[in-house]
Structure 1
Amino acid sequence: MTFQNTLDFAQQLDLQDPLKTYRNEFIFPQHEGRDVIYFTGNSLGLQPKRTRKFVDEVMNDWAHLAVEGHFFAEKPWWDYHERFALPLSKIVGAKPSEVTVMNTLTINLHLLMVSFYRPTAKRFKIICEEKAFPSDQYMFQSQVHHHGFNPQEAIVEIKRREGEHNIRLEDILSKIEEVGDELALVLFGGVNYYTGQVFDMKTITEAGHRVGAYVGFDLAHAAGNIKLDLHDWNVDFAAWCSYKYMNSGPGNASGCFVHEKHHQSNLPRFAGWWGHNKERRFKMEPQFEPVQGAQGWQVSNLPILSLAPYLASIEIFDEVGMDALIEKRDIITSYLEFILKEIAQEVGSAFEIITPAIPTARACQLSVFLHGEGRSLFDYLMKNGVITDWREPNVIRLAPVPLYTSYEDMYRFGQILKAGILHRN
């Protein structure tokens, strides 16, 4: 497609967009009487309008049924989480028995590491990416300390080559082979939060398994954003938050994946009564008998008021489907890239997009070094209705989420960006 940096062209793309009506499903903050240009769905997705109905339904059941809502609500609370299994399995490429929702992301990664980080005197190392999200770094350090190892020795970070912004696949694979039988776990982000780089999870999983390690992924920036085939890739486990691309609300519940090959294994886990045999759960038996499947890793009964917004958003994903989302994602991200380059040429600025240029190696995020510019340009964008994200030392992250971002937003952003640069000069 040959792009044009004009309002008419952007509006024509919007008219042809099969997902255009879904923009009206979301509530936008307002700036001077119009919707903001919202680029931070990679931090917190917008609220779907149907969310209130799902939350009100729970509140009404609580008011009128009280404890009986567990069994007699329209969506009974005791099995509320089971409604996620089928639609979530489609989003992450799994079998329904392999996915569940519970807790929050880092809690779930810690719980999964109980099962999948089983270090020995010889096999104790963890491979992760350099500049993983800080929460993951803290998790690795505390897990390694818990098992009595030195993080400096046990945590192996795959680094970017000098002068490069992204990690090369060959460097990941060679490091896995080098660490070899000392490697207990490979745990990467599916999409790097800072650069937006998508990692080749299938190939990484195969490499980790060849040397006898477990392989898992933090999918915080991947779930609902990229094509995932966790079951077919033979990934051991994964977890993701739901409040970014899946629009469930701030700090909300996390999703988990455990491959079916582990469902009947003797892997240790931290147990709780919601992971106990569903048919016998209320018999209050002393001996833990796990549910067969990912739900057997659940610990506590679920926070229904938190799950309700997530279920509202999952309903939208089920209507749209990941293939349609990805098709628009690739076009609108490419259009944003075109706009950035056009504006840079017009005003003589040297923007550097550090996200991979190949569509298969990126999702709906472009991370941009503002060479010659600075925090003042970010502040100008924010004051003029562009909600974006600043990362030190001099990067803005732009995430054109396909469910609710328009092509006209991309054009308008370019004009505001241009005005901000000219204003500074």
Structure 2
Amino acid sequence: MNFENNLAFAQALDQQDSLREMRNEFLFPQQNGKPFIYLCGNSLGLQPKVAREVLEVQLNNWQNLAVEGWFDGDSPWMFYHKELKNLMAPIVGSKPLEVCPMNTLTVNLHLLMVSFYQPKAKKYKIIMEFGAFPSDQYAIESQIRFHGYDPNDAIIEVKPREGEYTLRIEDIVKTIEENGDEIALVLFGGINYFTGQWFDMPAITKAGHKIGAIVGFDLAHAAGNVPLQLHDWNVDFACWCSYKYQNAGPGGISGIFVHEKHFGDTSLNRFAGWWGYKEDQRFKMEKGFIPEAGADGWQVSCTQVMPMALYHASLQLFEKAGFLDSLRTKSKTLTSYLFYLINQVNNTLGEEQFKIITPQAENERGAQVSIIAKADGKKIFDALVAHNVLGDWREPNVIRLSPVPMYNSFEDVFRTGELLLTISQSIK
């Protein structure tokens, strides 16, 4: 597409947007009586208007049914998680039996590593991306220590080349191959939180399996953002949060994926709980854990009804939007337009005031565009917020801007580019 740097062009794109009405499903924060241009869905998605309603329904169930709410009412809590599974599966490209909503992200990462990180003899190392989100780093470090190994020895990090910000897939694959005899687990983020790079997950999975390792992904920044095909890619396991691109509220419930090929593997360890016990025998209260079929067998504690209701409401919005097909098409155009506008700002200023560190290739990024300001980055970010543009600041020098196709417009992106130029000129 040949972009233009003017408001009329952005508004024309919005008029052509088949998803433009989805914006009306969300509540935007305000400042000085004006709504924000909200570009921080990569950190916390906006509140769906229906959120208050779905919580009210569950509060009424609690009020009117009390403990009988587990078995009575339109959607008994005992089986409520099953209503989400058919909606979750298209988000990550799985079978419904392979996914389950439960717990929170890092809790699930730990639970899945109990099953899928099984170090033996020489094959005990974990390979991961350099600069992964701290929760992943801490979880992996602690799991390694739990098994009696030294993280400094047992963790292999793949780093960008000198002078580069993102990883090359050939370097990831090469590192996996060169250390194949020692690697027990390949564990990457689907999308790097800092740069916005979407890793070649099928290639990573294939390389990991080739050397006999298990392959898992933290999809915090990928689920609900980019199209995934976990089952077809043969990924072993994955987990994600629901409060970023999936708009399920702060601290929203997490989801897990376990490939069906592992369901019959009785050698897998797991930290068991009552809710993961075989459903039709659960209330016999007998000793000896027998897991429920599928990913549900990894459940530990009972259904978190309120967070699950919020996630359910958001997943229904994805269904209304056509899941990720139409959203992805719009997302690629939104981010491409933002790339164009940032480059236009640099051209007008006569220098590269803003360096884009997110990959330009559409198949290597999602909705997030990360930029480094040549100077005064925090001042520029604060000025954007003062002018009702809310992105995200990450130390030491990165501004993350994430136009989410579910609720952001092309005019949002244009106004942001316009402000980047105005603020830069005023500071300069």
Separation in 2 of the partners of 1:246 and 1:358? Answer: 24
State the one-letter code of the partner of 2:347. Answer: Q
State the one-letter code of the partner of 2:73. Answer: A
Residues 222-257 of structure 1: per-residue CA shift (max 9 Å, x gap)? 000011000000000000000000000001110000
Determine the structure 2 residue equivalent to 1:243: 243
State the one-letter code of the partner of 1:421. Answer: S
Q: Secondary structure at the match of 1:127?
A: strand
State the one-letter code of the partner of 1:132. Answer: A
Question: Displacement, 1:262?
Answer: 0.4
Separation in 1 of the partners of 2:260 and 2:375? Answer: 51
Separation in 2 of the partners of 1:28 and 1:146? Answer: 44
Separation in 1 of the partners of 2:421 and 2:210? Answer: 51
Report matched runs for 1:21-420 at 5 Å.
Answer: 21-266=21-266, 267-320=268-321, 321-350=323-352, 351-420=354-423
Q: Secondary structure at the match of 1:84?
A: helix
Q: Secondary structure at the match of 1:74?
A: coil
Query: For the Cα contact (< 8 Å) 2:377–2:399, is it kept in 1?
Result: no
Residues 42-100 of structure 1: per-residue CA shift (max 9 Å, x gap)? 00000000111111100000001100111112211001111111111111000010000
Query: For the Cα contact (< 8 Å) 1:27–1:48, is it kept in 2?
Result: yes
Consecutive unaligned residues in structure 2, runs of 5 or more:
none
Query: For the Cα contact (< 8 Å) 1:374–1:394, is it kept in 2?
Result: yes
Question: Displacement, 1:182?
Answer: 1.0
> Which one is further off, 219-228 or 27-36?
27-36
State the one-letter code of the partner of 2:150. Answer: N
Separation in 1 of the partners of 2:349 and 2:388? Answer: 21
State the one-letter code of the partner of 1:244. Answer: K
Separation in 1 of the partners of 2:170 and 2:131? Answer: 18
Separation in 1 of the partners of 2:271 and 2:83? Answer: 24
Residues 160-212 of structure 1: per-residue CA shift (max 9 Å, x gap)? 10001110111111111111121100000000000000111111111111111
State the one-letter code of the partner of 2:287. Answer: P
> Which one is further off, 28-37 or 39-48?
28-37
Question: Percent same amino acid among aligned pairs?
Answer: 55
Query: For the Cα contact (< 8 Å) 1:349–1:371, is it kept in 2?
Result: no
State the one-letter code of the partner of 1:309. Answer: L
State the one-letter code of the partner of 1:394. Answer: N
Consecutive unaligned residues in structure 1, runs of 5 or more:
none
Question: Displacement, 1:281?
Answer: 1.0
Normalising to structure 1: TM-score of the pair? 0.99
Normalising to structure 2: TM-score of the pair? 0.98
Query: For the Cα contact (< 8 Å) 1:198–1:363, is it kept in 2?
Result: yes
Q: Secondary structure at the match of 2:71?
A: helix
Separation in 1 of the partners of 2:102 and 2:378? Answer: 38
Question: Displacement, 1:413?
Answer: 1.0
> Which one is further off, 339-348 or 156-165?
339-348
Q: Secondary structure at the match of 2:181?
A: helix
Q: Secondary structure at the match of 2:179?
A: helix
Residues 258-290 of structure 1: per-residue CA shift (max 9 Å, x gap)? 000001111111111111111111121112110
Q: Secondary structure at the match of 1:217?
A: strand
Question: Displacement, 1:318?
Answer: 1.2
Q: Which runs of 4+ in 1 moved over 6 A?
A: none
Question: Displacement, 1:373?
Answer: 3.0
> Which one is further off, 345-354 or 298-307?
345-354
Question: Displacement, 1:348?
Answer: 3.1
State the one-letter code of the partner of 1:408. Answer: E
Query: For the Cα contact (< 8 Å) 2:41–2:244, is it kept in 1?
Result: yes
Query: For the Cα contact (< 8 Å) 1:264–1:292, is it kept in 2?
Result: no
State the one-letter code of the partner of 2:280. Answer: E
State the one-letter code of the partner of 2:335. Answer: T
Q: Secondary structure at the match of 1:181?
A: coil
Q: Secondary structure at the match of 1:187?
A: strand
Separation in 2 of the partners of 1:374 and 1:293? Answer: 48
Question: Displacement, 1:412?
Answer: 1.1
Question: Displacement, 1:33?
Answer: 2.8
State the one-letter code of the partner of 1:318. Answer: E
Question: Displacement, 1:423?
Answer: 2.0
Separation in 2 of the partners of 1:343 and 1:33? Answer: 28
Q: Secondary structure at the match of 1:62?
A: helix
> Which one is further off, 343-352 or 203-212?
343-352
Separation in 2 of the partners of 1:244 and 1:108? Answer: 17
Question: Displacement, 1:349?
Answer: 4.3
Question: Displacement, 1:334?
Answer: 0.5
State the one-letter code of the partner of 1:73. Answer: G
> Which one is further off, 126-135 or 1-10?
1-10
State the one-letter code of the partner of 2:148. Answer: G
Separation in 2 of the partners of 1:312 and 1:348? Answer: 47
State the one-letter code of the partner of 1:374. Answer: G
Separation in 2 of the partners of 1:92 and 1:395? Answer: 28
